[in-house]
Chain A
Protein backbone atom coordinates (compact mmCIF):
# COMPACT_ATOMS: atom_id res chain seq x y z
CA UNK A 1 0.00 0.00 0.00
CA UNK A 2 1.39 3.41 -0.93
CA UNK A 3 1.97 6.09 1.69
CA UNK A 4 -0.96 8.07 0.29
CA UNK A 5 -3.31 5.10 0.55
CA UNK A 6 -2.29 4.37 4.11
CA UNK A 7 -2.94 8.00 5.04
CA UNK A 8 -6.43 7.74 3.50
CA UNK A 9 -7.02 4.42 5.28
CA UNK A 10 -5.92 5.74 8.67
CA UNK A 11 -8.17 8.80 8.38
CA UNK A 12 -11.18 6.73 7.32
CA UNK A 13 -10.66 4.35 10.23
CA UNK A 14 -10.38 7.19 12.70
CA UNK A 15 -13.19 9.33 11.24
CA UNK A 16 -15.86 7.07 9.64
CA UNK A 17 -17.79 10.12 8.29
CA UNK A 18 -14.71 10.90 6.23
CA UNK A 19 -15.31 7.93 3.94
CA UNK A 20 -15.07 8.84 0.23
CA UNK A 21 -14.09 12.41 1.10
CA UNK A 22 -10.35 11.77 0.83
CA UNK A 23 -9.18 11.91 -2.79
CA UNK A 24 -5.68 10.96 -3.92
CA UNK A 25 -5.21 13.16 -7.02
CA UNK A 26 -1.75 11.93 -7.85
CA UNK A 27 1.27 10.67 -5.92
CA UNK A 28 2.01 13.08 -3.05
CA UNK A 29 -1.22 15.11 -3.50
CA UNK A 30 -4.28 14.42 -1.35
CA UNK A 31 -7.40 16.59 -1.22
CA UNK A 32 -10.31 16.31 1.20
CA UNK A 33 -13.46 18.34 1.91
CA UNK A 34 -14.70 18.47 5.46
CA UNK A 35 -17.75 19.93 7.25
CA UNK A 36 -16.80 22.95 9.33
CA UNK A 37 -17.96 21.45 12.66
CA UNK A 38 -15.50 18.53 12.31
CA UNK A 39 -12.62 20.62 10.99
CA UNK A 40 -10.63 21.12 14.19
CA UNK A 41 -10.79 17.40 15.17
CA UNK A 42 -9.37 16.29 11.84
CA UNK A 43 -6.86 19.16 11.63
CA UNK A 44 -5.61 18.38 15.12
CA UNK A 45 -5.28 14.68 14.28
CA UNK A 46 -3.38 15.39 11.05
CA UNK A 47 -0.96 17.79 12.71
CA UNK A 48 -0.43 16.14 16.09
CA UNK A 49 -0.86 12.42 15.38
CA UNK A 50 0.01 12.07 11.70
CA UNK A 51 2.97 14.50 11.71
CA UNK A 52 1.69 16.87 9.05
CA UNK A 53 3.90 19.44 10.74
CA UNK A 54 4.44 21.96 7.93
CA UNK A 55 1.73 24.36 6.81
CA UNK A 56 2.55 25.28 3.19
CA UNK A 57 -0.09 27.99 3.12
CA UNK A 58 -3.81 28.66 3.49
CA UNK A 59 -5.82 29.39 0.34
CA UNK A 60 -9.12 31.21 0.63
CA UNK A 61 -11.56 31.53 -2.22
CA UNK A 62 -14.97 32.94 -2.97
CA UNK A 63 -17.24 30.14 -4.21
CA UNK A 64 -20.23 32.53 -4.55
CA UNK A 65 -22.60 30.49 -2.30
CA UNK A 66 -19.87 29.73 0.21
CA UNK A 67 -16.25 30.52 0.95
CA UNK A 68 -13.69 27.75 0.63
CA UNK A 69 -10.67 27.72 2.90
CA UNK A 70 -7.93 25.17 2.10
CA UNK A 71 -5.17 24.27 4.56
CA UNK A 72 -2.22 22.84 2.62
CA UNK A 73 -0.35 20.63 5.09
CA UNK A 74 2.77 18.68 4.33
CA UNK A 75 4.49 15.75 6.04
CA UNK A 76 8.31 15.75 5.90
CA UNK A 77 7.98 18.07 2.91
CA UNK A 78 6.80 15.13 0.79
CA UNK A 79 3.02 14.52 0.81
CA UNK A 80 0.77 17.59 0.59
CA UNK A 81 -2.65 17.16 2.22
CA UNK A 82 -5.10 19.90 1.21
CA UNK A 83 -7.92 20.00 3.74
CA UNK A 84 -10.83 22.19 2.66
CA UNK A 85 -13.75 23.63 4.66
CA UNK A 86 -16.72 25.43 3.14
CA UNK A 87 -18.09 28.24 5.27
CA UNK A 88 -21.19 30.40 5.10
CA UNK A 89 -21.02 33.39 2.76
CA UNK A 90 -23.26 35.58 4.96
CA UNK A 91 -21.31 35.23 8.15
CA UNK A 92 -17.90 33.84 7.25
CA UNK A 93 -16.00 32.77 10.37
CA UNK A 94 -13.23 30.29 11.03
CA UNK A 95 -11.03 29.46 14.01
CA UNK A 96 -7.40 30.51 13.94
CA UNK A 97 -4.75 27.80 13.64
CA UNK A 98 -1.94 30.04 14.93
CA UNK A 99 -1.93 27.82 18.03
CA UNK A 100 -0.52 25.08 15.79
CA UNK A 101 1.47 27.18 13.32
CA UNK A 102 2.75 30.68 14.14
CA UNK A 103 3.40 31.32 10.46
CA UNK A 104 -0.36 30.99 9.83
CA UNK A 105 -0.61 34.55 11.16
CA UNK A 106 0.19 36.12 7.76
CA UNK A 107 -1.97 33.61 5.87
CA UNK A 108 -4.99 34.26 8.12
CA UNK A 109 -4.61 38.02 7.87
CA UNK A 110 -4.75 37.56 4.09
CA UNK A 111 -8.11 35.79 4.52
CA UNK A 112 -9.42 38.70 6.60
CA UNK A 113 -8.13 41.43 4.27
CA UNK A 114 -8.71 39.94 0.83
CA UNK A 115 -11.90 37.92 1.43
CA UNK A 116 -13.42 39.35 4.61
CA UNK A 117 -13.40 36.06 6.51
CA UNK A 118 -13.34 36.66 10.25
CA UNK A 119 -10.62 34.57 11.91
CA UNK A 120 -11.51 33.97 15.56
CA UNK A 121 -8.58 33.84 17.94
CA UNK A 122 -6.14 35.71 15.71
CA UNK A 123 -4.00 37.98 17.90
CA UNK A 124 -4.49 41.71 17.33
CA UNK A 125 -1.91 43.13 14.97
CA UNK A 126 -1.30 45.04 11.80
CA UNK A 127 -3.30 44.22 8.69
CA UNK A 128 -1.77 42.33 5.79
CA UNK A 129 -1.40 42.77 2.82
CA UNK A 130 -3.61 45.78 2.01
CA UNK A 131 -2.52 49.35 2.81
CA UNK A 132 -3.53 50.94 6.13
CA UNK A 133 -5.93 53.39 4.45
CA UNK A 134 -7.80 50.68 2.50
CA UNK A 135 -11.49 50.55 3.58
CA UNK A 136 -12.07 47.85 6.23
CA UNK A 137 -15.11 46.37 4.47
CA UNK A 138 -13.67 46.23 0.95
CA UNK A 139 -12.37 42.78 0.06
CA UNK A 140 -10.85 42.57 -3.43
CA UNK A 141 -10.71 38.78 -3.83
CA UNK A 142 -14.51 38.49 -3.55
CA UNK A 143 -16.05 37.67 -6.91
CA UNK A 144 -18.47 40.64 -6.83
CA UNK A 145 -15.66 43.11 -6.15
CA UNK A 146 -15.20 45.81 -8.77
CA UNK A 147 -12.34 48.24 -9.18
CA UNK A 148 -13.44 51.57 -7.75
CA UNK A 149 -12.30 55.02 -8.76
CA UNK A 150 -9.47 56.75 -6.90
CA UNK A 151 -11.94 59.14 -5.21
CA UNK A 152 -13.80 56.28 -3.52
CA UNK A 153 -10.61 55.32 -1.74
CA UNK A 154 -9.59 58.86 -0.83
Chain B
Protein backbone atom coordinates (compact mmCIF):
# COMPACT_ATOMS: atom_id res chain seq x y z
CA UNK B 1 0.00 0.00 0.00
CA UNK B 2 1.32 3.42 -0.83
CA UNK B 3 2.02 5.41 2.26
CA UNK B 4 1.99 9.17 1.78
CA UNK B 5 4.58 9.50 4.53
CA UNK B 6 7.21 7.59 2.53
CA UNK B 7 9.91 9.80 1.10
CA UNK B 8 12.38 8.67 -1.52
CA UNK B 9 15.83 10.22 -1.21
CA UNK B 10 18.52 9.79 -3.85
CA UNK B 11 22.17 9.79 -2.70
CA UNK B 12 24.96 10.09 -5.23
CA UNK B 13 26.56 9.34 -7.57
CA UNK B 14 28.33 12.43 -6.20
CA UNK B 15 27.64 12.96 -2.52
CA UNK B 16 29.80 14.16 0.40
CA UNK B 17 29.03 11.02 2.44
CA UNK B 18 30.31 8.71 -0.29
CA UNK B 19 33.96 8.22 -1.09
CA UNK B 20 33.47 6.98 -4.65
CA UNK B 21 30.76 7.27 -7.28
CA UNK B 22 27.81 5.03 -6.45
CA UNK B 23 24.20 5.92 -6.00
CA UNK B 24 21.61 4.87 -3.47
CA UNK B 25 17.88 5.38 -3.55
CA UNK B 26 16.51 5.04 -0.04
CA UNK B 27 12.85 5.07 0.94
CA UNK B 28 12.33 6.71 4.30
CA UNK B 29 9.47 6.64 6.75
CA UNK B 30 10.42 9.29 9.24
CA UNK B 31 14.06 8.61 10.09
CA UNK B 32 13.84 4.92 9.23
CA UNK B 33 14.93 3.30 5.99
CA UNK B 34 12.19 1.01 4.67
CA UNK B 35 13.81 0.08 1.35
CA UNK B 36 17.01 0.82 -0.50
CA UNK B 37 18.58 0.12 -3.86
CA UNK B 38 22.12 0.66 -5.03
CA UNK B 39 23.48 1.46 -8.46
CA UNK B 40 27.15 1.04 -9.22
CA UNK B 41 29.15 0.89 -12.44
CA UNK B 42 30.26 4.53 -12.62
CA UNK B 43 33.87 3.38 -12.41
CA UNK B 44 33.61 0.85 -15.24
CA UNK B 45 36.71 1.31 -17.36
CA UNK B 46 36.53 -1.69 -19.66
CA UNK B 47 39.65 -3.30 -18.21
CA UNK B 48 38.52 -6.87 -19.02
CA UNK B 49 38.12 -5.97 -22.69
CA UNK B 50 41.40 -4.04 -22.71
CA UNK B 51 43.18 -7.14 -21.32
CA UNK B 52 42.16 -9.16 -24.37
CA UNK B 53 44.06 -6.75 -26.59
CA UNK B 54 47.31 -6.65 -24.61
CA UNK B 55 50.06 -9.11 -23.77
CA UNK B 56 50.16 -10.93 -20.43
CA UNK B 57 52.89 -8.67 -19.08
CA UNK B 58 51.02 -5.52 -20.13
CA UNK B 59 47.88 -6.94 -18.55
CA UNK B 60 49.67 -7.43 -15.26
CA UNK B 61 50.32 -3.69 -15.01
CA UNK B 62 46.79 -2.84 -16.16
CA UNK B 63 45.25 -5.26 -13.64
CA UNK B 64 47.36 -3.77 -10.86
CA UNK B 65 45.57 -0.49 -11.57
CA UNK B 66 42.06 -1.88 -10.99
CA UNK B 67 42.38 -0.65 -7.43
CA UNK B 68 44.73 1.77 -5.73
CA UNK B 69 44.47 0.00 -2.39
CA UNK B 70 44.49 -3.72 -3.19
CA UNK B 71 46.70 -3.42 -6.25
CA UNK B 72 48.97 -6.26 -5.13
CA UNK B 73 45.91 -8.47 -4.58
CA UNK B 74 44.71 -8.16 -8.17
CA UNK B 75 48.18 -8.47 -9.68
CA UNK B 76 48.93 -11.60 -7.62
CA UNK B 77 45.57 -13.21 -8.44
CA UNK B 78 46.18 -12.64 -12.16
CA UNK B 79 49.82 -13.80 -12.08
CA UNK B 80 48.78 -16.98 -10.22
CA UNK B 81 46.21 -17.83 -12.88
CA UNK B 82 48.66 -17.34 -15.75
CA UNK B 83 51.40 -19.30 -13.95
CA UNK B 84 48.97 -22.16 -13.36
CA UNK B 85 48.07 -22.34 -17.06
CA UNK B 86 51.71 -22.17 -18.15
CA UNK B 87 52.67 -24.79 -15.55
CA UNK B 88 55.33 -22.57 -13.99
CA UNK B 89 56.92 -23.56 -10.70
CA UNK B 90 57.31 -20.22 -8.93
CA UNK B 91 60.38 -20.15 -6.62
CA UNK B 92 59.55 -20.38 -2.94
CA UNK B 93 61.32 -17.15 -2.07
CA UNK B 94 59.08 -15.30 -4.54
CA UNK B 95 55.98 -16.82 -2.90
CA UNK B 96 57.17 -15.59 0.50
CA UNK B 97 57.81 -12.09 -0.88
CA UNK B 98 54.30 -12.07 -2.40
CA UNK B 99 52.81 -12.90 0.99
CA UNK B 100 54.98 -10.28 2.68
CA UNK B 101 53.78 -7.49 0.38
CA UNK B 102 50.23 -8.88 0.65
CA UNK B 103 50.24 -8.60 4.44
CA UNK B 104 51.83 -5.13 4.41
CA UNK B 105 49.08 -4.12 1.98
CA UNK B 106 46.45 -5.52 4.35
CA UNK B 107 47.96 -3.51 7.23
CA UNK B 108 47.79 -0.26 5.27
CA UNK B 109 44.28 -1.03 4.04
CA UNK B 110 42.89 -1.92 7.49
CA UNK B 111 44.49 1.15 9.09
CA UNK B 112 43.01 3.28 6.33
CA UNK B 113 39.60 1.71 6.97
CA UNK B 114 39.83 2.30 10.71
CA UNK B 115 40.44 5.98 10.02
CA UNK B 116 37.50 6.21 7.61
CA UNK B 117 35.25 4.44 10.11
CA UNK B 118 36.31 6.92 12.80
CA UNK B 119 35.58 9.80 10.46
CA UNK B 120 32.11 8.48 9.58
CA UNK B 121 31.09 8.45 13.24
CA UNK B 122 32.57 11.87 13.94
CA UNK B 123 35.66 10.51 15.70
CA UNK B 124 38.23 12.39 13.64
CA UNK B 125 40.97 12.00 16.23
CA UNK B 126 41.00 8.29 15.38
CA UNK B 127 41.30 9.21 11.69
CA UNK B 128 44.33 11.43 12.40
CA UNK B 129 46.01 8.78 14.56
CA UNK B 130 45.49 5.81 12.23
CA UNK B 131 46.43 7.66 9.06
CA UNK B 132 49.52 8.95 10.74
CA UNK B 133 50.47 5.38 11.68
CA UNK B 134 49.59 4.19 8.20
CA UNK B 135 52.48 6.34 6.94
CA UNK B 136 54.84 3.91 8.71
CA UNK B 137 53.67 1.00 6.57
CA UNK B 138 53.45 3.18 3.43
CA UNK B 139 57.09 4.13 3.91
CA UNK B 140 58.01 0.46 4.27
CA UNK B 141 56.11 -0.44 1.07
CA UNK B 142 57.87 2.41 -0.67
CA UNK B 143 61.24 1.16 0.64
CA UNK B 144 60.65 -2.42 -0.53
CA UNK B 145 58.97 -1.78 -3.87
CA UNK B 146 59.79 1.80 -4.82
CA UNK B 147 56.12 2.82 -4.73
CA UNK B 148 53.54 3.79 -2.11
CA UNK B 149 50.75 2.30 -4.21
CA UNK B 150 50.76 0.08 -7.34
CA UNK B 151 53.91 -1.65 -6.17
CA UNK B 152 54.80 -3.40 -9.44
CA UNK B 153 56.26 -6.24 -7.39
CA UNK B 154 54.81 -9.14 -9.38
CA UNK B 155 55.81 -10.57 -12.69
CA UNK B 156 54.63 -13.74 -14.42
CA UNK B 157 56.82 -16.37 -12.77
CA UNK B 158 57.76 -14.60 -9.55
CA UNK B 159 58.59 -11.15 -8.20
CA UNK B 160 60.77 -8.36 -9.55
CA UNK B 161 62.67 -7.27 -6.46
CA UNK B 162 64.40 -9.18 -3.72
CA UNK B 163 64.32 -8.26 -0.03
CA UNK B 164 67.76 -7.42 1.38
CA UNK B 165 68.70 -8.15 5.02
CA UNK B 166 68.87 -4.40 5.66
CA UNK B 167 65.32 -3.95 4.35
CA UNK B 168 64.10 -6.87 6.45
CA UNK B 169 65.50 -5.12 9.53
CA UNK B 170 63.58 -1.94 8.66
CA UNK B 171 60.38 -3.94 8.21
CA UNK B 172 60.78 -5.57 11.64
CA UNK B 173 61.38 -2.18 13.23
CA UNK B 174 58.23 -0.80 11.63
CA UNK B 175 56.18 -3.85 12.65
CA UNK B 176 57.21 -3.31 16.29
CA UNK B 177 55.94 0.26 16.15
CA UNK B 178 52.73 -0.69 14.36
CA UNK B 179 52.02 -3.53 16.75
CA UNK B 180 52.37 -1.24 19.75
CA UNK B 181 49.95 1.26 18.23
CA UNK B 182 47.51 -1.44 17.12
CA UNK B 183 47.34 -2.68 20.72
CA UNK B 184 46.23 0.82 21.61
CA UNK B 185 43.49 0.69 18.93
CA UNK B 186 42.32 -2.67 20.22
CA UNK B 187 42.06 -1.07 23.64
CA UNK B 188 40.04 1.81 22.16
CA UNK B 189 37.79 -0.53 20.18
CA UNK B 190 37.08 -2.79 23.15
CA UNK B 191 36.94 -0.26 26.00
CA UNK B 192 35.91 3.13 24.62
CA UNK B 193 32.17 3.38 25.26
CA UNK B 194 31.59 5.98 22.52
CA UNK B 195 32.79 3.49 19.89
CA UNK B 196 31.05 0.48 21.41
CA UNK B 197 27.71 2.26 21.78
CA UNK B 198 27.85 3.90 18.35
CA UNK B 199 28.72 0.73 16.44
CA UNK B 200 26.92 -2.03 18.35
CA UNK B 201 23.70 -3.24 16.80
CA UNK B 202 24.28 -1.07 13.73
CA UNK B 203 24.25 -2.60 10.24
CA UNK B 204 23.26 -6.06 11.42
CA UNK B 205 23.90 -8.98 9.05
CA UNK B 206 23.01 -12.37 10.52
CA UNK B 207 25.22 -15.38 9.87
CA UNK B 208 22.47 -16.92 7.74
CA UNK B 209 22.17 -13.76 5.63
CA UNK B 210 25.94 -13.41 5.31
CA UNK B 211 26.09 -16.91 3.83
CA UNK B 212 23.01 -16.65 1.63
CA UNK B 213 23.99 -13.20 0.27
CA UNK B 214 27.52 -14.40 -0.52
CA UNK B 215 29.33 -11.91 1.75
CA UNK B 216 33.13 -12.19 1.80
CA UNK B 217 36.09 -11.00 3.87
CA UNK B 218 35.81 -9.18 7.20
CA UNK B 219 32.11 -8.51 6.43
CA UNK B 220 31.41 -12.27 6.48
CA UNK B 221 33.87 -13.04 9.28
CA UNK B 222 32.22 -10.47 11.58
CA UNK B 223 28.99 -12.44 11.09
CA UNK B 224 30.63 -15.62 12.35
CA UNK B 225 31.49 -17.10 8.94
CA UNK B 226 35.08 -18.39 9.29
CA UNK B 227 35.93 -18.04 5.62
CA UNK B 228 39.37 -16.90 4.50
CA UNK B 229 41.00 -17.87 1.19
CA UNK B 230 44.42 -17.79 2.87
CA UNK B 231 43.30 -20.69 5.07
CA UNK B 232 40.76 -22.48 2.87
CA UNK B 233 42.56 -22.38 -0.47
CA UNK B 234 46.19 -21.49 0.40
CA UNK B 235 48.25 -19.63 -2.18
CA UNK B 236 51.69 -17.96 -2.09
CA UNK B 237 53.30 -18.87 1.27
CA UNK B 238 50.11 -19.05 3.37
CA UNK B 239 50.11 -22.85 3.49
CA UNK B 240 53.24 -22.65 5.67
CA UNK B 241 52.29 -19.69 7.83
CA UNK B 242 50.78 -19.90 11.26
CA UNK B 243 47.78 -17.61 11.71
CA UNK B 244 44.23 -17.57 13.02
CA UNK B 245 41.09 -16.70 11.07
CA UNK B 246 39.56 -13.92 13.16
CA UNK B 247 35.77 -13.96 13.52
CA UNK B 248 33.18 -12.16 15.60
CA UNK B 249 29.64 -13.11 16.48
CA UNK B 250 28.13 -9.67 17.01
CA UNK B 251 27.19 -9.49 13.27
CA UNK B 252 27.32 -5.67 13.31
CA UNK B 253 29.66 -2.78 12.46
CA UNK B 254 31.29 -3.19 15.87
CA UNK B 255 32.20 -6.78 14.98
CA UNK B 256 33.63 -5.64 11.63
CA UNK B 257 35.84 -3.18 13.51
CA UNK B 258 37.08 -5.76 16.02
CA UNK B 259 37.78 -8.30 13.25
CA UNK B 260 39.89 -5.81 11.31
CA UNK B 261 41.98 -4.57 14.23
CA UNK B 262 42.64 -8.13 15.38
CA UNK B 263 43.54 -9.16 11.83
CA UNK B 264 46.27 -6.50 11.99
CA UNK B 265 47.88 -8.43 14.85
CA UNK B 266 47.75 -11.64 12.79
CA UNK B 267 49.39 -9.81 9.88
CA UNK B 268 52.29 -8.65 12.10
CA UNK B 269 52.76 -12.22 13.27
CA UNK B 270 52.84 -13.44 9.65
CA UNK B 271 55.27 -10.72 8.53
CA UNK B 272 57.72 -11.73 11.28
CA UNK B 273 57.37 -15.40 10.37
CA UNK B 274 57.89 -14.68 6.66
CA UNK B 275 61.09 -12.74 7.34
CA UNK B 276 62.35 -15.49 9.66
CA UNK B 277 61.51 -18.45 7.40
CA UNK B 278 62.04 -16.94 3.94
CA UNK B 279 64.20 -19.43 2.01
CA UNK B 280 67.19 -18.31 -0.02
CA UNK B 281 67.15 -18.77 -3.78
CA UNK B 282 65.98 -17.25 -7.05
CA UNK B 283 62.97 -14.92 -7.07
CA UNK B 284 61.71 -15.59 -10.56
CA UNK B 285 61.42 -18.33 -13.15
CA UNK B 286 61.45 -17.56 -16.85
CA UNK B 287 57.94 -17.34 -18.30
CA UNK B 288 57.15 -17.94 -21.98
CA UNK B 289 55.82 -15.00 -23.99
CA UNK B 290 53.09 -17.19 -25.48
CA UNK B 291 50.96 -18.95 -22.89
CA UNK B 292 49.64 -22.40 -23.95
CA UNK B 293 45.88 -22.80 -24.33
CA UNK B 294 44.15 -23.45 -21.04
CA UNK B 295 42.16 -21.91 -18.24
CA UNK B 296 42.50 -21.27 -14.52
CA UNK B 297 40.46 -19.86 -11.67
CA UNK B 298 42.54 -17.99 -9.11
CA UNK B 299 41.53 -16.67 -5.70
CA UNK B 300 43.18 -14.25 -3.30
CA UNK B 301 42.13 -12.97 0.12
CA UNK B 302 42.28 -9.22 -0.45
CA UNK B 303 41.85 -6.89 2.56
CA UNK B 304 38.14 -6.67 1.64
CA UNK B 305 37.64 -10.38 1.00
CA UNK B 306 37.80 -12.98 -1.73
CA UNK B 307 39.15 -11.62 -5.00
CA UNK B 308 38.35 -13.95 -7.92
CA UNK B 309 40.12 -14.04 -11.29
CA UNK B 310 39.44 -16.33 -14.24
CA UNK B 311 41.88 -16.41 -17.15
CA UNK B 312 41.54 -18.32 -20.39
CA UNK B 313 44.44 -18.49 -22.84
CA UNK B 314 44.50 -19.55 -26.48
CA UNK B 315 48.18 -20.22 -27.16
CA UNK B 316 49.01 -16.66 -28.21
CA UNK B 317 50.69 -13.89 -26.26
CA UNK B 318 47.32 -12.32 -25.39
CA UNK B 319 44.61 -13.86 -23.21
CA UNK B 320 41.26 -14.89 -24.65
CA UNK B 321 39.31 -13.82 -21.59
CA UNK B 322 40.14 -12.24 -18.26
CA UNK B 323 37.38 -12.05 -15.66
CA UNK B 324 37.76 -10.20 -12.38
CA UNK B 325 35.34 -10.19 -9.47
CA UNK B 326 36.48 -7.82 -6.74
CA UNK B 327 35.20 -8.38 -3.19
CA UNK B 328 33.00 -5.27 -3.03
CA UNK B 329 30.68 -6.65 -5.73
CA UNK B 330 30.13 -9.75 -3.59
CA UNK B 331 29.32 -7.60 -0.54
CA UNK B 332 27.04 -5.08 -2.18
CA UNK B 333 23.88 -7.21 -1.79
CA UNK B 334 24.54 -7.43 1.92
CA UNK B 335 24.46 -3.64 2.28
CA UNK B 336 20.77 -3.38 1.37
CA UNK B 337 20.06 -6.01 4.03
CA UNK B 338 22.12 -4.12 6.62
CA UNK B 339 20.24 -0.87 5.95
CA UNK B 340 16.78 -2.41 6.16
CA UNK B 341 14.69 -0.90 8.97
CA UNK B 342 17.67 1.13 10.26
CA UNK B 343 18.09 4.85 10.83
CA UNK B 344 19.23 7.15 8.05
CA UNK B 345 22.01 8.47 10.29
CA UNK B 346 23.59 4.99 10.32
CA UNK B 347 23.86 4.86 6.54
CA UNK B 348 27.38 6.32 6.10
CA UNK B 349 29.02 4.00 8.65
CA UNK B 350 27.07 0.95 7.46
CA UNK B 351 28.24 1.53 3.89
CA UNK B 352 31.77 2.28 5.05
CA UNK B 353 31.81 -0.90 7.16
CA UNK B 354 32.03 -3.22 4.14
CA UNK B 355 35.06 -1.09 3.19
CA UNK B 356 33.95 -0.34 -0.36
CA UNK B 357 37.01 -0.01 -2.52
CA UNK B 358 37.90 3.48 -3.71
CA UNK B 359 40.93 4.72 -5.55
CA UNK B 360 43.71 6.15 -3.52
CA UNK B 361 45.81 8.78 -5.19
CA UNK B 362 49.48 8.33 -5.63
CA UNK B 363 51.88 10.86 -4.24
CA UNK B 364 55.18 12.09 -5.56
CA UNK B 365 58.31 11.37 -3.54
CA UNK B 366 60.26 14.24 -5.13
CA UNK B 367 58.69 17.35 -6.59
CA UNK B 368 60.31 17.91 -9.96
CA UNK B 369 61.97 21.26 -10.61
CA UNK B 370 59.97 22.73 -13.45
CA UNK B 371 62.58 25.39 -14.20
CA UNK B 372 60.11 28.17 -13.49
CA UNK B 373 61.18 31.18 -11.43
CA UNK B 374 61.07 30.68 -7.65
CA UNK B 375 60.56 26.94 -8.03
CA UNK B 376 62.68 24.59 -5.96
CA UNK B 377 63.08 20.88 -5.40
CA UNK B 378 61.84 19.69 -2.02
CA UNK B 379 63.00 16.31 -0.77
CA UNK B 380 60.47 13.97 0.81
CA UNK B 381 61.86 14.36 4.35
CA UNK B 382 61.60 18.17 4.23
CA UNK B 383 58.05 17.93 2.86
CA UNK B 384 57.21 15.59 5.70
CA UNK B 385 58.49 18.06 8.32
CA UNK B 386 56.76 20.98 6.59
CA UNK B 387 53.38 19.22 6.60
CA UNK B 388 53.66 18.48 10.32
CA UNK B 389 54.57 22.12 11.01
CA UNK B 390 51.67 23.32 8.84
CA UNK B 391 49.13 21.36 10.86
CA UNK B 392 50.73 22.35 14.16
CA UNK B 393 50.56 26.06 13.36
CA UNK B 394 47.20 26.27 11.63
CA UNK B 395 45.16 23.46 13.14
CA UNK B 396 46.81 23.03 16.52
CA UNK B 397 47.50 19.34 15.87
CA UNK B 398 50.60 18.44 17.81
CA UNK B 399 52.03 14.94 18.03
CA UNK B 400 55.42 15.87 19.45
CA UNK B 401 54.72 14.46 22.92
CA UNK B 402 53.56 11.15 21.43
CA UNK B 403 56.50 11.10 19.02
CA UNK B 404 58.92 11.54 21.88
CA UNK B 405 57.30 8.67 23.74
CA UNK B 406 57.63 6.31 20.77
CA UNK B 407 61.13 7.49 19.94
CA UNK B 408 62.13 6.56 23.46
CA UNK B 409 60.32 3.24 23.38
CA UNK B 410 61.76 2.15 20.04
CA UNK B 411 65.03 4.11 20.02
CA UNK B 412 64.46 5.74 16.63
Contact = CB atoms under 8 A, between A and B. Distances in A.
Contacts of B131: none
What range describes how many residues of A lie at the interface?
35 or more
Interface in A111-146: 114, 125-131, 140-141, 145
B323 to A, nearest CB: 4
A128 B40 CA distance: 7
A82 B81 CA distance: 14
Interface stretch (B97-105, B267-275, B292-300, B377-385): B292-300
A11 interface: no
B214 interface: yes
A72 B297 contact: yes
Nearest to A103: B214
Nearest to A78: B232
B214 A101 contact: yes
B32 interface: no
A44 to B, nearest CB: 16
Given A59-B310, A105-B333, A77 B41 contact: no
Interface string A96-110: 000001110111000
B373 to A, nearest CB: 40
Given A57-B308, A129-B44, A102 B333 contact: yes
Nearest to B308: A56
A103 B333 contact: yes
B233 A56 contact: no
Given A72-B297, A141-B49, A53 B310 contact: no
B252 interface: no
Contact of B323 (A59, A77, A78, A102): A59
Interface SS majority for chain B: mixed
B296 A25 contact: yes
B211 A53 contact: yes
A102 B41 contact: no
A82 B46 contact: no
B207 interface: no
Contact of B229 (A77, A82, A101, A129): A77
A72 B48 CA distance: 18
Contact of A130 (B41, B48, B299, B310): B41
A61 B321 contact: yes
A55 interface: yes
A141 B312 CA distance: 14
A57 B333 contact: no
Interface stretch (B180-188, B255-263, B324-332): B324-332
B160 interface: no
A106 B37 CA distance: 12
A70 interface: yes
A59 B312 CA distance: 11
Nearest to B310: A59
A70 B312 CA distance: 12
B65 interface: no
A129 B41 contact: yes
A29 interface: yes
Nearest to A140: B49
B120 interface: no
A61 B320 contact: yes
A56 B232 CA distance: 14
A76 B321 contact: no
Given A57-B323, A77-B227, A106 B46 contact: no
A145 B330 CA distance: 28
B214 A55 contact: yes
A31 interface: yes
B40 to A, nearest CB: 7
Given A131-B41, A141-B48, A56 B299 contact: yes
Given A77-B228, A80-B297, A140-B49, 15 more contacts: A57-B308, A59-B321, A61-B320, A72-B308, A76-B227, A77-B229, A80-B233, A102-B333, A106-B40, A106-B329, A107-B329, A129-B40, A130-B41, A130-B44, A140-B46
Interface of A: 25-26, 28-29, 31, 53-57, 59, 61, 70, 72, 76-78, 80, 82, 101-103, 105-107, 114, 125-131, 140-141, 145
* In the complex, the 8 A-B pairs of residues with the closest C-beta atoms, listed nearest first: A129-B41, A57-B325, A103-B214, A129-B44, A77-B232, A59-B323, A77-B227, A61-B321
17 contacts: A25-B296, A29-B297, A31-B295, A57-B310, A57-B330, A61-B312, A72-B310, A76-B227, A77-B227, A80-B233, A82-B297, A102-B212, A102-B333, A103-B333, A105-B333, A131-B41, A141-B49
